[in-house]
Chains A and B, each alone.
Chain A
């Protein structure tokens, strides 16, 4: 396998705004989707011959369907406010990774074909022809945007670069020029039920393994049920929670919380995925198709509630779009949020006094929290503004004695993306992932040096995988990233739990 050849940026006390250097990332493009993945998503198998006309038709279609897109394309006044706000620009110096530079790649074509000035005086208004090179440039730079929307926080007009990048990807897909990582995964989900391609029997085997582990550890038979009809709660969680670390430690935590709360719950093998990459590729149709699986699973299993696990963009889709994509959910219990986040569930149980913790179980750590972009800027938790920032921190503080925030300009609604969101979490984009992680890595290392932070908790499968991979590039350890519910899991005291844990462990060691 060819290894990516690039230099990891050095960490300094502050992330300096770099001097602009043209074209530093022009070489980077992800692998192109295979024909069968495209056709499964109802896209042409490969680049169509009449791509020029079809791309413009699609742009026209999208700007009429999405009023916001039209406004974003029209309203930029080049004030410069966004220029130093994107982690990918800060890490790469490439001006096309400035939000305005990225937007202009589509805007210049929009102006050329859809505005009066652009049609007749293109040079005066920065309008340019759509050429084959434009497509490649779109393909490259719209796959260097994690759609994290940090720039939109600082834009006086609220221009949302994510919407533009989604639209550009939708145009590329519509002419058969889609990205392998996203399209292969959506095709897999349509076929098997999750991004991993984890079939029901493997899922069952994995969950049974977790039940054994938890019982070995605690002496309590916590269940991780699959396809249990009549359960009250359907848990929809990213399939990485079944597969990867530290994700699975979070899943173990959800199960313990449900167990102690005394509710009946189940996972579904049909909808064994919270993630919805349909959003990343800007495809309403694919986003809807993925969402409808959750509806069908909820109906088939007869559940009363839907709870989402720790997944950033899934919570955006769930919180903001699920009802219009796959609703109405009038068959669910109206006394609970539809859908609910696992952190809302856990926080509610903590407030009711239903969960007991030994916070000292996490005394080997000093925690900080990485706000995931989609949760921070596109959703809410609880019933107050800012609940999406408060509730995760409240839960961490309820189970850990040592917590500090990172620098205030890097958290909350100003949080920096992990660098791997929006369909970029693939090895062929490792260079942009590593470079884009620079601001977050800087803030983390400062918190480590100034506040003694040892671990960073996150509530997004992509963030967790991304940090696992990029932390070592910056001289830190991969296991410094943890799931929030992993902390809950380690501190929770289950009813009837073995007190004599040490004895239990030494006994096992004796066997081994």
Chain B
């Protein structure tokens, strides 16, 4: 599978995750969101950017609580919870948002 953007092909795995993390560009997230019938807003981008920064440092997506805390600090306490994140990413911040951000799929009992 692959995503085509302006003539360039971005390979994805069978679950739709980017195979080569370094290839990621914002248009990849836009294209994936479109496929999921989502339009990315600034709120989405705040999450996606945070995920990418965290991954850069720790080589793993942040735990849900780490993410909600960071969101709460930055955007106000009322948004620092998973309800808010699920409203943005209905299929779950851990999986859908990570996919948009070009991160590998979190695995395990989650």
Contact = CB atoms under 8 A, between A and B. Distances in A.
Contacts of A509: 77
B109 A425 contact: yes
A196 B63 CA distance: 10
A114 interface: no
Contacts of B83: 479
A198 B77 contact: no
A487 to B, nearest CB: 18
Interface string B47-75: 00000000000111011111001001000
A206 B15 contact: no
Interface in A129-181: 181
Contact of A209 (B60, B65, B78, B109): B65
Given A213-B69, A248-B64, A427 B110 contact: no
A284 interface: no
B105 to A, nearest CB: 9
A58 interface: no
A197 B63 contact: no
B35 interface: yes
Contacts of B102: none
Interface size class of B (residues with CB under 8 A): 20 to 34
B66 A196 contact: no
Contacts of B78: 512
Interface in A176-224: 181, 184-185, 188, 194-199, 201-202, 205-206, 209-210, 213
Interface in A434-469: 461-462, 465
B107 interface: yes
A206 B64 contact: no
Contacts of A244: 63-64, 94, 109-110
A427 B15 contact: yes
A372 to B, nearest CB: 12
Given A199-B60, A213-B65, A244-B63, A465 B110 contact: yes
A75 interface: no
Interface string B11-55: 000111000000000000000100110000000000000000000
Contacts of A210: 65
Interface in A295-352: 311
Interface stretch (A6-14, A42-50, A234-242): A234-242
Given A209-B69, A213-B65, A196 B110 contact: yes
A408 B41 CA distance: 48
Dominant secondary structure of chain A at its interface with chain B = helix
B69 A197 contact: no
B109 A1 contact: no
Contacts of B95: 427
B57 to A, nearest CB: 8
B15 A31 contact: yes
A245 interface: yes
A243 interface: yes
Contacts of A106: none
B7 interface: no
A199 B76 CA distance: 29
Nearest to A201: B58
A238 B109 CA distance: 8
B58 A248 contact: no
A168 B52 CA distance: 40
A465 B16 CA distance: 21
A509 B78 CA distance: 9
A206 B58 CA distance: 11
Contacts of B14: 31, 428
A508 B69 CA distance: 13
Contact of B77 (A181, A213, A508): A508
B14 to A, nearest CB: 5
What are the nearest 10 A-B pairs in CB distance? Answer: A195-B108, A1-B16, A461-B109, A202-B58, A512-B77, A240-B109, A244-B110, A196-B108, A243-B63, A462-B109
28 contacts: A1-B15, A2-B16, A31-B15, A181-B107, A194-B108, A195-B107, A196-B108, A199-B58, A199-B59, A201-B58, A205-B66, A206-B63, A206-B65, A206-B66, A209-B63, A213-B69, A239-B109, A240-B110, A242-B63, A243-B108, A244-B94, A248-B65, A275-B109, A427-B15, A428-B14, A465-B109, A508-B77, A512-B77
Given A194-B108, A209-B66, A509-B77, 11 more contacts: A1-B36, A185-B108, A196-B108, A197-B107, A199-B60, A206-B66, A240-B109, A242-B63, A248-B63, A311-B109, A508-B77
